[in-house]
Amino acid sequence: MVCGMPDTLSGRVAANLRGELARRNLTHEEFADRAVTSRQAITNRCLGRTPISLDELELYAELLEIEPSKLLND
C-alpha cells in the first residue's frame, strides 16, 4: 500500500521505482537531475501522490537501464 492507496498499478510502479532507486543508491535529487525534473516531482511519484505517465515510465526505465515492464511487475 502506498500513501494509503490500495494495491493499484500506480502504487506498484511507485514502489518498484523506489526499489530501483534504492538498489542503485540514487537519491531523488540525483534521479531528478537525470530525468530533468524537480526532486519534488520524483518524490511525489515515488510516494504515489502523483501517478506516473507512460512517457515517464518509459523515460525512467531508460535512465535505469531496465525494461519498462520491470517497473510494472510485482
Give 20-69 pLDDT, tens digit per residue.
Answer: 999 999 999 999 999 999 999 999 999 999 999 999 999 999 999 999 99
Q: Which one is the CATH code of 9-68: 1.10.1040.10, 3.40.50.150, 1.10.260.40, 3.30.499.10?
A: 1.10.260.40
State yes or no: pLDDT of 5 exceeds 60. Answer: no
With contact defined as beta carbons under 8 Å apart, do 28 and 39 qualify?
yes
Contacts 24+ apart (CB under 8 A), 51-57: 51/10, 52/10, 52/13, 52/14, 52/17, 57/13
Q: Rounded to 5, what percent of the chain is helix, strand, coil?
A: 65, 5, 35
pTM score over 0.75: yes
